[in-house]
Structure 1
Amino acid sequence: MTGTTTTAPRSGRRPWNWLGSPQRWSWAKSARLRHGTARHEKATTRDGWRWLPAEHRAAHLIDAARAYLQADDPVNAGRVLMEADRIAPAEIRHRPAGRDVLAQVAHDPDAPTTLTHLAATLGVG
């Protein structure tokens, strides 16, 4: 098949028609976020949670905080970040992922004052 090119037939439809509407993608994303945050709540109450190394638990909590932010729930994002800082402070204070999420949470007006002070001390945000 050298020298021949094939192209997809042009249907005249807009690209989002075959991908699904943007609203549908948004709904699916929010459903996945709700499911993910519910799984986080369940996972942290199991016995195996405390057997994980502190750095792994803190990394999971940073990911959960990012998910809470995407689900427009900055209060819970701040809550899990404070827990991550209590478990393994270096994950929040020195790792770029932790600092980025901390800066996002600190910008929220409902952010806990301890996180706002921590962000100011570290110079993030």
Structure 2
Amino acid sequence: MSRKAFNEIFNHVITGSIVRNGKTIDIGAATQTAFFTRTDEMAKDVSDNLYASFEHPDQPIPPGTTAIIAREGVHKSPKDKQDHITGVCINPKGNVSLHFINPDSTNGDTVELEGKADDSKKT
């Protein structure tokens, strides 16, 4: 049984890239999801915060990830009280939603992240 993302991404913009372990990974942000539409300018602001989460070189990224799309901007949630950005790691073997910790909320500490399957194929 396929599980759909709670807030599926329909469209996004790529705003740049990072290099991890010799591989280029595109970075961007959603412009349209099941619940909202945001302008390209707003998406750039969200993706700028996502870039900041990669200041720690050990920020976990699933193997095979080709792009990371920020779905939600910096926020807290009932299950995760730490400031984070919810992003979808695009991967040919299956997309994964992760919480990318806002570096301002960790005071330089590294945080272990847990992901969940995200069967959303439209990006």
TM-score interval, smaller chain: under 0.3
TM-score by length of 2: 0.21
Instruction: Compare the two structures and name the one with the higher strand fraction.
Output: 2
Larger RCO (alpha carbons 8 Å, 6+ apart): 2
TM-score by length of 1: 0.21
Instruction: Compare the two structures and name the one with the higher helix fraction.
Output: 1
Instruction: Look at both structures and tell me which one has the larger radius of gyration over its CA atoms.
Output: 1
